[in-house]
Each structure stands twice: as C-alpha cells, then as structure tokens.
Chains A and B, each alone.
Chain A
C-alpha cells in the first residue's frame, strides 16, 4: 500500500520531500572532526550523517603486493544511528557497504600504495578507514564513499621512528591520494530511477546499482543490489544518471 502511494508521487516527477527524482538532499562535508584519527570527515546528506576516520599503522605487506601499503575499509552501522541496527559484529549490510567503498578506492587506485612501502616484504603503512553511522536515514552508500575520500584527503602521516609509529608527532606529509572516486547509487522503484533515497524509498526499492566513477567519469566499481533483475537498457540509464551526478558530488570535496 505504501509502495502504491510512493509510485503515485514519483509518477509526478517528485519525491516525498519535494525533491526531483535525481536530486540529492543538501550535502555538507566537514574534515578533521576527530583529533584522534590521522584523517577524518563528517558527511551529512539530508538527515543522514556519518563519520569516516583514517588510522595509519605499520604492518607486513601481503605476499602478492610486497612493496605496497595495505588498505582496509570497515563500516560500523552503529545502533545509535537507527532503531533497526543492533549491537554486535558487522552484519551483511555493513559488510557489503564496506566492500563497495573498498572497491571504489582500490580499483581507482585512489591511494598511491607504492609510496606507502617502508621496507619491501617487511614493513608497509596500513591505511585503515572506519566509517561510523551517526544518523542513518537513507543513501548510505554514496555518503560512505564521500566520507572515506574526504577523510583520506585530510590524512597526514604520523612520525615513523624506525619501525614504530609515534602518533603524538604529526608530520606535514599528506597521505598520497591521487584520485577521488565518487559513488552514485541509483535506485529503481517501479519504473522510476532515483538517487539518494529516503528510508521509505529505500525500503520499497526493487533494485539498486552502485556505480563508482573516477574524475574522468570512467567506471571503477559496480554493485547491483535488490531482488529485481535489471535490463542492460536500464543499467545504461543508471550509468548516465551517475555520470551526471558524480561531478556534482565531487564539488563537495576539497
């Protein structure tokens, strides 16, 4: 019944809150919001708010990338941020979210990981991004990537003494960030395609496609979600929307 009404409204080309179908809610990014992290950012999109924090550490590299730094992305859907989230280890949704953000960053080579090698095969910098939801009110995918990139861009390297990190001394050196992927998630509800869903829209969506795009508007990661299949025509339309939206979102980054 809710969906029926939702479709009736979307048919008029507007949303429950008066937006157009492919319009985002107001976006705000604030960086360096946690002094404990090496880099951090707070993202708000409408009522959705999350914090991304970057911690750096020294680890052994993975055997297949002996001269590259490590990357880890983790998402915490904090029970503080939504009555439906529970205390405990990350569930399916949090893991999917983290992996999609991870792929966007990894595949676009947003971080120059070769510059993070301290001693080949032995010591490399590890970049650990944690994304914590403060108020989850729809559109987390796009907010999470935006948060991760903003936090990475604000990250400064702590001082390395031999092979241990002195977190009390920050250097002037920035984390080597070379690209800035953006994800746009397009949702399909009935025949309509929308971005930045409200919670009630997200619940009724038939399918979604998260599209990670580089500054050149090439695609660097995709993730289809939802139960309904998508035709190639629809996928192309979704990508066109994403390519139009990504540069607008990127403007909010420094």
Chain B
C-alpha cells in the first residue's frame, strides 16, 4: 500500500463535502441538485406524461427514461462536444436500470417518466452523483417509490480501498494503479442496482469495497432525506 495519504487529505472512508437541494427547477415536476466535492449534478423529472412514439408505450405500466449529459464546459480539460455519444448513452441506460427497481409506475399505463441529468461541473463520480440527484428528484415529483437510491464510487488506489474517488485518484498510475467501482444501493435493503468496475482487484478486495460502499451510501442517503424534508419546511 503506497497510497496511504489521499491527495485531498481525506481519510480512506471519507466522502468529499456533500450538499443536496430539492426543487430547484420550477418547470419540472421534480428536481434536485447534488454536489459531492467538485462534481455537481442537476436532475429534473418530467412526468408521468404522454409517451410518443406510441409503439414505445407499455399498456400495463409507465416507463422510466433517463438522459445523462455533461454540459460542454463541464469536463476536465477540453470542451466536451454536446450531443452525448457512446459514453453518455451507456450511462443513461445504466442510470435507468439503477433507478427503476424502486419505482412503481403501475398507476400510469402508457406513460413515461423522464429523468434528465445535467452536469455543470465535474470531478469524477458523475454517474453516481447523477443517480443520487435523480432519486431525490423522483421523490420530489411525488412518485410512488419504495426507497431512494444512493450512489457513489468506491475503489482501490495504490492498493488502498477508498471511498468517493476524485479525478486525480482515478488517474493514479503507481502500484497497480486505480480501480473505480461505481455502485448504487437501495438503502433499506442493501441491494445493489448499479455495479461497474474499471481496473483490477481480487474478490476479497471487491467484498471489502462493497462493504465500504454500503457504509458510505448511508451517509449520502441521510443528505438526500434532509434535502427532501427541507423542501417543505
């Protein structure tokens, strides 16, 4: 283990400073901002609303659709060309899979609930911040949900299992480099709805990392709940 002291001085299990706010976009049916360190995610929910084209409709339930987008100036370095691309497409898809398990849209056949996630500023962990913001926004939209979803990246950097990687940590190249594991969790059951991994580690290390993810998700969950309660104070 060489990476014992983190670049920003955090402890191994510490998250960056977190902030959340619900109800930030008046036009939307539900909305939220989630900030973790220098990563900021905005989420807006529209719906349930009429779904076009018609062939996409499901007569037995409403469906969830997610769209992830980085604002062109939000990247590390050069301007990000707008319009998505393969990365944004994949993230949109896995966000949908991460959020759908907690939602019940049976009351709304043939409709769609649209979730739009936008990032004005990024420093790693954007898909997780997006999912976390989207979960607040979905609850804010008054939808039937058995729980929120809390997400963050855990990983291994220079042999050390840590929580909430920054861009610098993702780019770490010494001693086995960096492994990045985005995880989304349903807090009440501990079930995992998003799991990806880039890097290399042992099965034991993964178990350890997922344990840490659960512990860290609980911290995020609390902030999500507070944001929703504060909205109606």
Contacts and interface: CB of A to CB of B under 8 A. Distances in A.
- Direct contact, A vs B (beta carbon within 8 Å): yes
Contact of A37 (B42, B73, B82, B117): B73
A75 B59 CA distance: 37
A9 to B, nearest CB: 22
B79 A132 contact: no
B120 interface: yes
Interface stretch (A53-61, A63-71, A100-108): A53-61
Nearest to A167: B77
A78 B116 contact: yes
Nearest to A128: B79
Interface residues of B, number: 33
Contact of B25 (A34, A51, A80, A90): A80
B110 interface: no
Interface stretch (A81-89, A113-121, A201-209): A81-89
A252 B114 CA distance: 35
A145 interface: no
A180 interface: no
Interface residues of A, number: 35
Interface stretch (A14-22, A134-142, A214-222): A134-142
Contact of B122 (A33, A36, A55, A78): A36
Contacts of B12: none
Given A35-B121, A55-B79, A130-B82, A79 B74 contact: no
A31 interface: no
B69 interface: yes
21 contacts: A33-B120, A34-B120, A37-B73, A37-B121, A38-B73, A53-B73, A55-B78, A76-B82, A79-B46, A79-B114, A80-B42, A80-B44, A80-B117, A87-B67, A128-B72, A130-B72, A132-B71, A134-B118, A135-B25, A136-B27, A165-B77
Given A34-B71, A80-B44, A167-B76, 12 more contacts: A34-B73, A34-B120, A36-B73, A51-B120, A80-B28, A81-B27, A82-B27, A83-B46, A90-B82, A134-B42, A137-B27, A167-B78
